[in-house]
């Protein structure tokens, strides 16, 4: 028992699995996009958004040779945890055989926050314990819950109400997930949209993440059995100046040191807004600085990745839905994982395996959209 925080029969398992996910040289592939989100990417590549295409694409992501050397975990979507390869082997078994822990997205998406028309909260607490127990039976051992907050200095966003509601939701989710045997990844994503500089990003991130851990403590969540998935500290996407990776790394580390407890085994950064190469280069620089002799940069956690598009975009581009490019796409998937594995150790030197000629992977919209009116969004 950790200082009176009894989390039931899964305590040792939660701590062990959180440490496995944080193991040096590995990270997490986030392939938990909803049917709509992955569908937009498939359609943009000239493919149909149907169950078979989604299954075929994700099979490419999971079956590359020696993938288990570079990934500690893979996050699945509800549909995917029940799917199998073309040959009939369950994706859960394919990953488990490689020593990769299976994770699952358990939130139900974003909704408008009442009385705060430009902000959102995440729904999904109703029935969450039953869903978590079912996913555990299916082989999942960790979970993910995403909230989003936007920065708008002129409008004083994020509001204190938005921060409080989302921090409480993350804490409730984490408590329920642990009770059901799943290591909770806590993801308070601060959206990259905006004109703000890196200093504002750092201040907001510290405030938001501190609020999240305040609520996790209130719910007596076992921090040793959790992971954090934050943004790196970047300026808003409309900020006019380029930011050097060393500055990103230094500000990111210093911000995390101010608000993330040492009991947390791993910080798994998201790749939002960065290109595949930028995500790798920035992660590499973070780990180089964290291993330096500078006392203000020493970190008690594993500093790793939980990347979605930064581990998938070149794979989709290479595949293009063609049978003859399947093996090439699988090779790219492993190469991207390997590059970030090296970056997690501060050993990446390039060249990068990306096949894309883009400066970033910013998607047009990542917030809430009214299902009855596509033009209405937050």
Q: Is 5 helix (H, G, I), strand (E, B) or coil?
A: strand
- CA 271, CA 273: separation in Å to the nearest integer? 6
Active site residue 155: no
Sign of the alpha-carbon dihedral angle for 329, 314, 104, 36 = negative
Is residue 11 within 8 A of residue 2, CB to CB? The reply is yes
Catalytic residue among 229, 276, 285, 330: 229
Strand stretches in the chain, DSSP E: 27-31, 71-76, 101-105, 110-113, 116-122, 142-149, 183-190, 227-228, 266-269, 302-307, 369-370, 373-377
- CA distances 303 to 71, 329, 366, Å, are 14, 27, 25
Q: Which two tokens stand for residue 78?
A: 């509800």
Contact call for residues 277 and 354 (beta carbons, < 8 A): yes
d(CA 73, CA 65): 16
Q: Rounded to whole angstroms, how far apart are CA atoms 81 and 106?
A: 12
Task: Identify which of 54, 99, 108 has the alpha carbon closest to the alpha carbon of residue 81.
Answer: 54
Residue closest to 217 by CA, chosen among 239, 189, 186? 186
**Active-site residue 97, yes or no?**
no
Catalytic residue of the set 33, 187, 189, 206: 187
Active-site residues: which are they? 187, 229
């Amino acid at each position: 028992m950790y200082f009176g925080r009894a989390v039931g029969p899964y305590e040792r398992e939660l701590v062990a699995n959180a440490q496995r996910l944080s193991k040096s040289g590995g990270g997490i592939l986030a392939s938990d996009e909803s049917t709509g989100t992955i569908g937009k990417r498939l359609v943009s590549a000239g493919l149909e958004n149907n169950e078979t295409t989604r299954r075929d694409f994700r099979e490419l992501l999971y079956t590359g040779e020696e993938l288990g050397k570079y990934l500690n975990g893979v996050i699945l979507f509800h549909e995917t945890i029940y799917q199998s390869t073309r040959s009939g082997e369950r994706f859960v078994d394919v990953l488990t055989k490689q020593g990769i822990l299976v994770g699952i997205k358990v939130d139900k998406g974003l909704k408008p926050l009442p009385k705060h028309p430009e902000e959102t909260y995440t729904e999904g607490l109703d029935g969450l314990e039953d869903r978590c127990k079912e996913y555990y039976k299916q082989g999942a051992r960790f979970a993910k819950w995403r909230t989003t907050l936007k920065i708008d200095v002129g409008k004083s966003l994020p509001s204190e109400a938005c921060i409080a509601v989302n921090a409480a939701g993350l804490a409730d989710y984490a408590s329920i997930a642990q009770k059901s045997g799943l290591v909770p990844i806590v993801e308070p994503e601060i959206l990259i949209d905006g004109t703000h500089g890196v200093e504002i990003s750092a201040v907001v991130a510290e405030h938001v993440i501190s609020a999240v851990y305040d609520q996790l403590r209130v719910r007596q969540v076992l921090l040793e059995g959790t992971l954090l998935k934050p943004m790196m500290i970047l300026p808003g996407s409309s900020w006019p100046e380029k930011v050097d990776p060393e500055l990103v790394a230094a500000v990111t580390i210093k911000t995390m040191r101010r608000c993330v407890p040492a009991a947390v085994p791993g910080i798994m950064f998201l790749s939002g807004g960065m290109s595949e190469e930028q995500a790798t280069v920035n992660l590499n620089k973070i780990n180089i600085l964290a291993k330096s002799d500078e006392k203000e940069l020493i970190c008690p956690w594993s500093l790793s990745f939980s990347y979605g598009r930064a581990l998938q975009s070149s794979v989709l581009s290479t595949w293009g839905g063609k049978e003859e490019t399947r093996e090439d796409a699988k090779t790219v998937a492993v190469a991207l994982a390997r590059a970030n594995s090296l970056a997690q150790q501060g050993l990446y030197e390039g060249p990068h395996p990306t096949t894309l000629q883009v400066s970033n992977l910013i998607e047009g919209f990542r917030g809430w959209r009214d299902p009855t009116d596509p033009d209405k969004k937050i």
